[in-house]
Amino acid sequence: MIRQEFLMKERKDIRVLVLWADPRAENLGLQALASGARSAVQQIWGGCDVVFHTHNTRDTPLTRAAMIRDLCGRPGGMTAFFRDFDLILDTGGGDSFTDIYGLRRLLLMKYVRIAAGKACRPVVMTPQTIGPFRTWVGKRVATSMLRKSALVCTRDPESSRNSRILGRNTDIESTDMAFALSKHDRGDRYDVVLNVSGLLWNENPHVDFRSYRTNVLNLINELTLAGRRVSLLAHVLDSPLADNDVPAVKSAAAASKSDVEVLIPADLADVRSILANSAVLVGSRMHSAINALAVGTVAIPWSYSRKFAPLMESIGWQTTIDLSTSDDPVGETLRMLEETVFLELQRTVASAASEAENKIRAFIEAPQWTSITDAVYGASVC
């Protein structure tokens, strides 16, 4: 039956739930995803109520306990929570639609689709990375999730290819939601800003942390010898979680023999202001590089996973250095900073940002939103 409560709503009353991103998160990448999603929603529908939830949000129902209550038919589960909204946007945390972080996270994301279906609420996958999937179970879960999504949007061609392999053609291929945010005025307060990742500074499944530490310290030393000013940037702020950049930045500064500045931003606006006032960003957190490009600053990503290069290349940015395959990431970085090469990168950054903005516009203006709007306002059958 048609859900009559939708028919009674006016467009200005629409309530949107954004999952797996938070404008108050310690991870400034999740802040960028959240703020970009809000900007896009407001451009699509105008004034509306946007609410954010991750598994770390206080009193969130996105928990295993709420899932079990749902499965047992008891109140207080996800389904009842989802009925308070008209539309669910699943950001996938940008890169969590994969099984490389374990199946527990993916299964929780899967149950969101089930609960949303019970609540008759459409789920849209905002532009994100799809894959890789290394297990049979992961592939089966991902296939089911894609089929239960009202709209599937990716942020790079490789993700679109993975979606197609899993049985669902991508509806919209765009780019990262951070490019939906407004720009900052540029300045020259900082020279080389180096984002040191707490994820990679400590033992991790992605790269050899000892090699990472050595490369970070060698780069600082080489840049200082070349007369460059180096600032170390945290892009994931301090928290009880081990995966934050603040201890890594401080440790790198202490271990360095050079006089370096430590930058710990207050929030997303602060980090984007820092980057807009920098000559170049060398970043191990992908959103540090995305935020740099978005404000017109040359970015040299130090990649630790497949999510980096396809996204960067899709907007015409070719500077990604893969830490898992590069024999000399420090040397590669220094060559990109040579005068003639760097001048060309400065000329290219504007076109890359412009291409990203075009891709965001394609997402916002996509004709597929008509059917989503029909579902939201009751023109579809639950």
* Residue closest to 154 by CA, chosen among 81, 70, 237, 97: 97
Lowest mean pLDDT, pick from 64-73, 115-124, 188-197, 269-278: 64-73
Section 289-308 average pLDDT: 96
pTM value > 0.85: yes
pLDDT score at 114: 92
Given a cut of 90, whether residue 291 has pLDDT beyond it is yes
Tokens (6 digits) for 277: 């006032």
Asked if the domains at 4-171+366-376 and 192-354 fall in one CATH topology, the answer is yes
Q: Exposed e or buried b for every residue in 279-288, given b needs 16+ CB within 10 A? A: bbbbbbbbbb
* Residue closest to 179 by CA, chosen among 306, 92, 289, 305: 289
**Residue showing tokens 């960067």:** 312
Section 302-320 average pLDDT: 96
* Residue closest to 34 by CA, chosen among 83, 111, 89: 89
Residue 280, strand partner residues: 192, 298
Instruction: Name the percent of the chain lying above pLDDT 90.
Output: 80
Give the CA dihedral 178, 183, 186, 190, nearest 10 degrees. Answer: -20
Decide: 126 and 283 in contact? Cβ < 8 Å. no
pLDDT score at 150: 95
Decide: 300 and 349 in contact? Cβ < 8 Å. no
C-alpha–C-alpha distance, residues 175 and 36, integer Å = 11
Given a cut of 50, whether residue 1 has pLDDT beyond it is no
Decide: 106 and 142 in contact? Cβ < 8 Å. yes
User: Which stretch of DSSP H or E encloses residue 216?
Assistant: helix 209-225
60 versus 161: the higher-pLDDT residue is 161
Section 218-225 average pLDDT: 97
47 versus 298: the higher-pLDDT residue is 298
Q: What is the pLDDT of residues 82-114, one digit of tens each?
A: 999 999 999 999 999 999 888 888 998 999 999
Q: What angle do CA 223, 314, 373 make, to 5 degrees?
A: 130
pLDDT score at 197: 98
Q: What angle do CA 85, 90, 94 make, to 5 degrees?
A: 150
24 versus 242: the higher-pLDDT residue is 24
* Residue closest to 266 by CA, chosen among 23, 85, 87, 88: 23
Confidence of residue 6 (pLDDT cuts 50, 70, 90): very low
Decide: 151 and 117 in contact? Cβ < 8 Å. no
pLDDT score at 2: 31
Given a cut of 70, whether residue 217 has pLDDT beyond it is yes
Section 270-282 average pLDDT: 98
pLDDT score at 5: 44
C-alpha–C-alpha distance, residues 162 and 142, integer Å = 10
Q: What is the pLDDT of residues 163-214, one digit of tens each?
A: 999 999 999 999 999 999 988 889 999 999 999 999 999 999 899 999 999 9
pLDDT score at 72: 81
Architecture category of domain 192-354 in CATH:
3-Layer(aba) Sandwich (3.40)
151 phi/psi in degrees, rounded to 5: -150, 135
Kindly report the average pLDDT of the chain as a whole number: 92
* Residue closest to 19 by CA, chosen among 27, 9, 30: 30
User: Which stretch of DSSP H or E encloses residue 22?
Assistant: none
C-alpha–C-alpha distance, residues 369 and 377, integer Å = 12
* Residue closest to 111 by CA, chosen among 143, 70, 147: 70
Instruction: Name the percent of the chain lying above pLDDT 70.
Output: 95
pLDDT score at 47: 78
For the domain spanning 4-171+366-376, the CATH number is 3.40.50
Decide: 46 and 364 in contact? Cβ < 8 Å. no
pLDDT score at 373: 87
Q: What is the pLDDT of residues 17-60, one digit of tens each?
A: 999 999 999 999 999 999 999 999 999 988 789 999 988 888 88
**Residue partners of 121: CB distance under 8 A and separation at least 6:** 82, 83, 85, 86, 87, 88
Decide: 244 and 192 in contact? Cβ < 8 Å. no
Domain ranges of the chain: 4-171+366-376, 192-354
Confidence of residue 64 (pLDDT cuts 50, 70, 90): confident
C-alpha–C-alpha distance, residues 33 and 196, integer Å = 20
